[in-house]
Chains A and B, each alone.
Chain A
Amino acid sequence: MTNLIETLAGVPPASKLGEALKKRAEILRLSEAAHDAVLLPRDPGGLSHALRAALAARMCRHVGNDELAAHYDNYLGHSGDLDVAPLAYPDGKSGETRLDAIARHADLLTVAPREATRGDIEALKAASVAEPDIVRLAELAAFVNYQLRVVAGLKVLKGVQ
């Protein structure tokens, strides 16, 4: 079965890189399971499925992967939650303090994680983001950035095959 990373990277299955990917099929399968765990968790806590999809699309736009952004836009569209839809774009705001603090932190985690400090976590708490949701947000941003980089790396490798 072809998964999202393989589809987006578009590596020809018969190429040497395609053969290498077959050897790493279990890693790709677990990556897809991780995608489901951050995007559609059974227990989403204070981060709704719609918010997660919007934030994921926003992160993809920061890194310049419109195709992956469209994948998350699709999940957002199916959720029918218009309140969080503006957050799918890097400058988008919802007007709600907690959600906008979450979006700002998603930006930091994507664009400049090296700059993150204790103060950023305190700012989330001050904006009424619960501690478990701070961890959930970090996992979402961490996974999407992993996925973006696996796809980017594969495309670069494919390009010089």
Chain B
Amino acid sequence: MSEAINEFTAKVPTWSPYVTPVDIATATPAQLAAMKVTPSNTGFSPYVLTLAHDPESLEVRSPLFNLIMYGKDGLSSAERELGAVGASIVNRCVYCAAVHASRFIGITHRTDIIDTIFADERDATLPPRDQALFDFAAKLSTTPVEVGADDARALTEAGLSELEQLDLVLSAALFGWANRLMHTLGEPRA
């Protein structure tokens, strides 16, 4: 059996749930609809099959996720990924951090940024704009929420428009959601 992974890595692991996923063969019509099961689309990840226990949430979550992470204009894709990584560090979602760090690297080729974040976590020292983005996302993810006026001003000083700032709030907050599913309902495995 593969081993659980507890350390941050940019190599995307598999994910194994702590609860029994929905079995396609016995799924309800609502579950099949939420998973978008069609005759030509029957392969689903353990994650989607786990979330299919709550089809009403799954159905709305997928389009919301895509709009926040892959929407046109506003904050760049790479910087949305950095927001996702900031939240995933605070919530210690090793799987989410791996997926979104690898996407950040795929777009920017800045392996050094991710290496620094994984080594120093919230104490990471980054180039100014990355620092402002990462710190804001991390501080928005804590309980209680630590983010304050100085962090918002740092975004403006780093040159982020209001729309870019809004997109950062949305991407970091979205990972407050994703981390609470992925990290708490299962674990990453090599």
Categorize the interface residue count of chain B.
35 or more
Say whether A139 faces chain B, with CB atoms less than 8 Å apart: yes
User: Which residues from chain B contact A131 at a C-beta distance below 8 Å?
Assistant: 19-20, 53
- CB pair B19 A34 closer than 8 Å: no
Residue of A nearest to B164 (CB): A20
> With A114-B183, A150-B169 as given contacts, are A30 and B162 in contact (CB-CB < 8 Å)?
no
**A residues contacting the other copy or chain, number (CB 8 A):** 59
> With A27-B68, A110-B143, A146-B177 as given contacts, are A19 and B162 in contact (CB-CB < 8 Å)?
yes
Say whether B149 faces chain A, with CB atoms less than 8 Å apart: yes
Say whether B5 faces chain A, with CB atoms less than 8 Å apart: no
- CB pair B143 A153 closer than 8 Å: no
Q: What's the least CB distance linking B14 to chain A, in Å? A: 16
Q: What's the least CB distance linking A16 to chain B, in Å? A: 4
Residue of B nearest to A131 (CB): B19
Partner of A146, one of B56, B161, B173: B173
With the chains together, A65 CA to B91 CA distance in Å?
20
Residue of A nearest to B59 (CB): A37
Q: How many A-B residue pairs have CB under 8 A?
A: 171
With the chains together, A153 CA to B180 CA distance in Å?
18
Other 19 A-B pairs with CB < 8 A, given A27-B67, A63-B145, A150-B169: A17-B165, A23-B73, A23-B163, A24-B71, A24-B170, A30-B63, A38-B57, A43-B30, A43-B56, A108-B184, A110-B143, A113-B183, A120-B184, A139-B57, A142-B179, A143-B57, A145-B177, A147-B173, A159-B149
A residues whose Cβ falls under 8 Å from a Cβ of B: 15-17, 19-21, 23-24, 26-27, 30-31, 33-34, 37-38, 41-43, 45, 62-64, 108-114, 116, 118, 120-122, 131-132, 134-136, 138-139, 141-143, 145-150, 152-154, 156-157, 159-161
